[in-house]
Amino acid sequence: MPFTHIDIQHQRRSKSTILFIILVVYYFLGFVILGHLLLFSIGIKKADFNYFVGMDTFYLTCLATALTLAAIHWLHAIIGGVERILTALHVEEPDPLDRYHKQFINVIEEIKLATGFHDLRPVVIPTLAVNAFAISTKSDNAVIGVTEGLLARLTRPQLENVVAHEMSHIINNDCVMVTIACSLFATYAQMLRQMADSAEKSQRGAPWLWVGVLALLTLGAKLLNVAISRQREYLADATAVRLTRNPIGLTEAMLKISRNWRGVGYMDESMAPIFIMNPMESTLDENTGFWSNILSTHPPLNRRLSPLLELAHSDIETISNNVEFQLKARQEIKTIHEAPESIGSLWWVQQDNQWKGPFPLAQLGQMTTLKPDSWVCRTDNKNVVKVSEVPEINKLLTARESLSWGGPNCPRCKQPLSNESYEGTKVFHCRFCEGYLIYENSLFKILARREIGFTDEYKKKIKDYQKTQLANSVRQIRPRQQDSSPDCKCPVCSVPMNRTFYSYQYQIVIDRCYSCKLTWFDKNELDFLQIMLEEKIV
C-alpha cells in the first residue's frame, strides 16, 4: 500500500500500462475473431487465405488496428470520460435553496478546506438508492456525487465521512484509473442497456443486435476490472478517518448503505467501481479468494469495518444498535399528518351575484377575487357580513398581499399557487383545492425523505384505497376511468397533462406533463403515495 506521493504515482503508471494493454488485447482478439468469422462465412479456407495474403500479415494488421483504436479510445476516455459518466447517471446540480442539498454543499466546502483541493464539483443523482461516487481524469474535473436516498438517510457526520471517503479516492489518485476504466466501456454498456429496455417496453422490435453489442461491452468492462484493485477501498477508508477523526461515522454510514437499496437496476453493474459500495449484492464482493481479489472491485464489508471498529474501540453490535436507535428517533420526531376530516369553520362567498362555497379559511386566503368589500357568510350562524368586518379573514388578505405571487396558477381552480417548502424542497401548493404541483427532481427528494409521518387512521384509509385499486387492476380499469375529472392543462406550457398511474406498483392516479417534467397531485394523492412507498403498503 503506497504512502508517499512517489509511490502513488508509480502505482498509477503501472495500472495505466496494465489498463492500456488489456484494452489493446480486447480489440486485437475482437478483430481476430471477427476476421475468422468473416472468412468462414464467405467460404475461404485457411490454405487459400495463406496463398493470397498470409496469416502473419492478417495478425499484424489486426494488432496495428487494435493499437490505433485503443489509443483513440483511451484519449477519448480521458478527455470526455467524466461528462459521459455523469450523463449516464442522469446527475443534477445541487440546489442551494434545498435544505438537504445545502448541507451537502457545506460539507463539500469543508472537505475542500481540509484538503486544499479547490477544483471539486458536487452533483446529486435523483434516485431513492443510497450510494455515493467519485470520478476524475484530471486535477480540474474531479466530481463527488451522492444520491437523494443517501442525503435523506444519513446524518451530517455520516455524510461528512462518505464525502471524505470519496475525496480520498481523488487525492490518492486511484480515482483516475477507475474513471478511465468505466468510461472505456461501462458508460456505453449502461446507455445501450437503457436504450434496449426502452425499445423492448415500447415494442418497437426485439433489440437482438443491441443485446450482442451489449454483451461485448459488458465483457470489456469485466476485463478492465482486473486493473482495479479492491485494496484501494481500504486506503480510502483510512484516509477518510484521518480527515474526519470519526471512524464511528464512517462505520454507521456503510452499515446504512449496505442495508438499503444501493441502486441495482438504476445503475449498471459495470459502473460499480466508482461507487462507495457495489450497487449489486455480489457474493464475489464478500469473498476473499483468488478470483474475488482479481475480479471484484469492493472488499467484503466485514473486512472494511474491522479496522474502523478497532479505531473506534467499538464492536459491530454497538454500532448496529446506534443505527437502529437513530432510525427510531427519526420516526419519533416526524411531523404527523392526520386524515383531513375536520377543517374547522366554513364560509360562503358571494361572487358574480351568486353564493359559492362553502370554503375553509385557508382557501379563502388563496382566492384572488376576495376583496375587503366582498360579502361572506359563515355556515354556522348565517350572518352575512363584509370581509372587512371579519378579523381572521382580514389577516389572510394582509398575508396574501405581502406574498410575491408570480408563480404558476393551479391547473384545477386557476388560483395562484404558493411557493412552499415541503420536506426541505420547494413545491407549488394550492391552498384552495389542496393540490400540489411538483417538478420531477423535487418529487424524488420528497419520496426519499421521511420527515412527515401519518397516523394509523390515515394509514387505514390508504389500505382501503389500495384494496380498491387492486380490484380495479384486476378489472383493467384505466386511470381516466377512475378519475373522470376535467383534463388539467400544464401551468407552464398549457398543454393537457397526461392522466396516468404514478407506477404500476403504486397506482395513484396523477397528471403529468412529460415535456415540462411536472406532476400534479390532487388532494391527498401525494400523502397516499408517500404512505404506500414509505410504509411499503403494496
What amino acid positions are annotated as catalytic residues?
Answer: 166
Measured from the Cβ of residue 209, the count of other Cβ atoms closer than 10 Å reads: 10
Rounded Cα gap, residues 312 and 247, in angstroms = 6
The Cα-based distances of 32 to 54, 62, 66, 192, 333 in angstroms read 14, 7, 10, 24, 64
Count Cα neighbours of 79 within 13 Å in the Cβ-side half-sphere. Answer: 6
- Number of H-type helices and E-type strands within the chain: 20, 15
Residues 6 or more apart whose Cβ sits within 8 Å of residue 261: 128, 129, 130, 149
Rounded Cα gap, residues 74 and 70, in angstroms = 6
Per-residue DSSP letter, 172? T
- 476: three-class secondary structure by DSSP: coil
- 267: three-class secondary structure by DSSP: strand
Q: How many residues does the chain have?
A: 538
Residues 6 or more apart whose Cβ sits within 8 Å of residue 256: 130, 153, 154, 158, 323
Strand order, beta sheet including 509-513: 418-422, 425-429, 436-439, 518-521, 509-513, 498-501
Q: With beta carbons less than 8 A apart as the criterion, state whether 343 and 357 touch.
A: no
- 130: three-class secondary structure by DSSP: coil
